[in-house]
Amino acid sequence: MDSQNRDNIILIGFMGVGKTTVGKLLSQRMGYEFMDTDDLIVRMAGISIPEIFSRYGERHFRTLEKQAIICALEHSGIVLATGGGAVVDPDNFLFLKKRGCVIALDAGEDILWNRLKASTDRPMLFSDRPRERMRKLLEARRPIYHRAHFVVLVDDKTPEEVTDEIIAIIGSGWKYKRKEN
Ligand code: S3P
């Protein structure tokens, strides 16, 4: 397939759901390039994500995130993993949906907490009560993630199983089967 005409696959979803791990596997299986908005942001800023938040605040991070999304989707034939807050901005979400097949990965709250509780590099969870903070964020964001073209439940599936599911979605003519909302 000509690389100019290939669609992109865009992974969205909450922190810890496995967008990067699955995205890398998926890109290998599809022969697509893998890109990650968080990596682009760190390269653009020259400092880590917690440093961006602590020095310049979340608003600045979101500005960089928007730029990273636009930059990444100048390419085609990519698998793009986005940060958990990327689609909270409706314009970002619309843009992503125009540029590829947007797949939300989702998992139960306990599974996510188990994966996130030891994390030290996610400023959105820096709090005296990180579990409570996670729960509130998840509650607010889950309905947004569910506006993706497709939602794949991750729970205790392996990254390989999740990748297989996504490949089945893509292979089944996603343009005709996706939800329009
Ligand atoms: C964020 C998620 C992070 C990263 C930043 C903000 C969020 O990405 O973009 O810390 O708002 O949920 P991951 O979803 O890859 O952890």
pLDDT per position as a tens digit, 23-36:
999 999 999 999 99
> DSSP assignment, residue 4?
G
- The residue nearest atom 4 of ligand 1, judged by CA position, is 83
3-state SS of 92-150 is HHHHHHHHEEEEEEECCHHHHHHHHCCCCCCHHHCCCCHHHHHHHHHHHHHHHHCCCCE
Atom of ligand 1 nearest to the CA of 37: 9
pLDDT digits (tens, 9 = 90+) for 87-113: 999 999 999 999 999 999 999 999 999
Average pLDDT over residues 18-25: 98
Please give the single-letter amino acid code of residue 14: F
- What is the value of pTM for the model shown? 0.94
Taking residues 169-176, report their average pLDDT.
Answer: 76
CA distance 110 to 36: 25
Quickly state the pLDDT bin for 4 (edges 50, 70, 90): very low
pLDDT at 177: 60
Work out which ligand 1 atom sits closest to the CA atom of 81. 15
Q: Is 83 near ligand 1, meaning CB less than 6 Å away? A: yes
Atom of ligand 1 nearest to the CA of 119: 16
Using alpha carbons, select from 175, 168, 169, 157 the residue that is nearest to residue 21. 157
Q: What is the pLDDT of residue 171?
A: 86
Q: What is the pLDDT of residue 151?
A: 97
Please, what are the domains in the chain? Answer: 3-175 (3.40.50.300)
Buried b (16+ CB within 10 A) or exposed e, 66-97: bebbeebbeebbbbbbbbbbbbbeeebbebbb
Residue 23 is classified by DSSP as H
